[in-house]
Amino acid sequence: MTKVKLCGIRRLEDVAILNEVKPDYAGFIFAPSKRQVAVDEAEVLRQALDPSIPAVGVFVDAYPLFIKEIVDAGIIQVVQLHGHEDAIYIEETQQMIGDVPIIQAVRVASQSDVNVDTTADMLLFDAYSKGMQGGTGQQFNWDYLTAVDRPYFLAGGLNPDNIQIAIETVGPYAVDISSGVETDGVKDATKIRSLMARIQEADKQ
């Protein structure tokens, strides 16, 4: 079964629909972004979120100590690094947060970008867009992923209309969706329900 991460959660209304559809992960963005949440806001969202849904904290070149503080507060259960974090940074962060999984995001512009040597627990492949670290709504060439031999998250331009073909084409461990289930920059409950239903259909194929 394809895992699902719904990212950019920033309102209690968003949490309510997540509690209904039960994705595998909920994403809180702590990096500068139109979907950014403050730590105290994320704490309120985490308290309202179903305890069975792990929260993923998305960071861009943040101080590892800042990440540790949010982990220690119980706000997030998974860390996603979406900047220019190198092997030394990842190792330092792992030492600070222990067994908490780390997802390393890779912005894909060419075939060579997917050849990543990392100690991160998981990879996430997203579309490259100059000046943006994620949430671009853009898709990249999925053919680049054919040689990837480890489980990964697929992101970049996914929405209810293309999610089935994405799963059937590349068979990712997980899909990561944010702008693809929004209307006018706000999470859309109808689109989220449609997305989840189509993922279930794709998994039956």
Residues forming the active site: 7, 126
Q: In terms of DSSP bridges, do strands 55-59 and 186-187 run parallel, antiparallel, or are they unpaired?
A: unpaired
Cβ pair 29, 56 in contact under 8 A: no
Tracing tokens 């999470």 back to the chain, one arrives at 187
* Count of CA atoms in the C-beta half-sphere (13 A) of 127: 14
Report the residue count for the chain.
205
Q: In terms of DSSP bridges, do strands 182-183 and 186-187 run parallel, antiparallel, or are they unpaired?
A: antiparallel
